[in-house]
Homo-oligomer: A and B are copies of this chain.
Amino acid sequence: MNGLHLIADLHECQCPPGRLLDAPSLESFCVDACQRHGLTVVGRLFHAFQDKHGQAAGVTGTVVLAESHLAVHTWPEIASVTLDVYVCNFSGDNSHQAQALFGEVITWFSPSRLEKKEVARGHLGE
């Protein structure tokens, strides 16, 4: 279960605003990106929120991977996104794939400000 959990909070995203609003497009992008980086998608669930006026108000989504998960939440009203990419290394060292996927998703949103963390998971079990 040892693995790498990459965490980012993205602020002042300069991408087209629709990227934080359009759940099907975000889902396609995330699933394609996971597959492109060699990870195994076993499911995906994206939900579009609406505000009290019925307007699009952000997306929350997860891609469930054989290697763990990607989670993304968008906050279009403040042009911000939170991102998690967590991969275990059960089937081999997937850290490189995780870093590449993480970088690609961040680039897609094009944040002006970014806070990143890396958390090593599961190492107590060794």
Contact = CB atoms under 8 A, between A and B. Distances in A.
A75 B45 contact: no
B119 A117 contact: yes
Interface in A50-71: 60-62, 64-66, 68-69, 71
Contacts of A121: 7, 9, 82
A113 B49 CA distance: 38
Question: Looking at chain A, what size class is its interface with the partner chain?
Answer: 35 or more
B119 A115 contact: no
Instruction: Count copies of this chain in the complex.
Output: 2
Contacts of A117: 119
Contact of A125 (B1, B5, B78, B125): B78
A70 B121 CA distance: 16
- Nearest 8 CB-CB pairings of A with B: A62-B62, A45-B45, A1-B75, A42-B47, A115-B124, A43-B45, A11-B125, A9-B122
Interface of A: 1, 3, 5, 7, 9, 11, 42-45, 47, 49, 60-62, 64-66, 68-69, 71, 73, 75, 78, 80, 82, 84, 86, 88, 90, 113, 115, 117, 119, 121-125
